């Protein structure tokens, strides 16, 4: 990620305090809302690789035109974007 300059993004590191479970729920929510999409590919050695790509609503989310209410654990909320 640092090789690509992602550490300079405003959101970089923002979720570091969240559990793996909370992060997985957030990713699933973003996929269901269309901000992200999954792309599954069969490799040359017959294994399945899954990639996460920007979804049809990714631009809306980044521009603040889309509200994403992330699921949260009983202990602490995950951030959410809203208009």
Contacts of 29 (CB under 8 A, 6+ apart): 68, 69, 70, 71
- pLDDT tens for 9-23 read 887 887 788 888 888
Supply the mean pLDDT for the chain: 81
Element (H, E) at 61: helix 58-62
Question: What's the fold here for domain 16-83?
Answer: Arc Repressor Mutant, subunit A (1.10.10)
The arithmetic mean of pLDDT across residues 51-60, rounded, is 94
Query: Greater confidence, 7 or 56?
Result: 56
Q: Is the pLDDT of residue 43 over 80?
A: yes
The model's pTM is 0.67
The arithmetic mean of pLDDT across residues 67-78, rounded, is 58
């Amino acid at each position: 990620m640092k090789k690509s300059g992602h550490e300079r993004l405003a959101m970089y590191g923002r979720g570091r305090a969240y559990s793996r479970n909370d992060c997985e729920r957030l990713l699933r929510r973003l996929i269901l809302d269309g901000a992200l999409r999954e792309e599954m590919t069969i490799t040359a050695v017959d294994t399945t690789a899954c990639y996460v790509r920007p979804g049809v609503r990714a631009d809306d989310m980044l521009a603040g035109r889309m509200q994403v209410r992330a699921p949260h654990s009983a202990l602490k909320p995950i951030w959410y974007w809203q208009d």
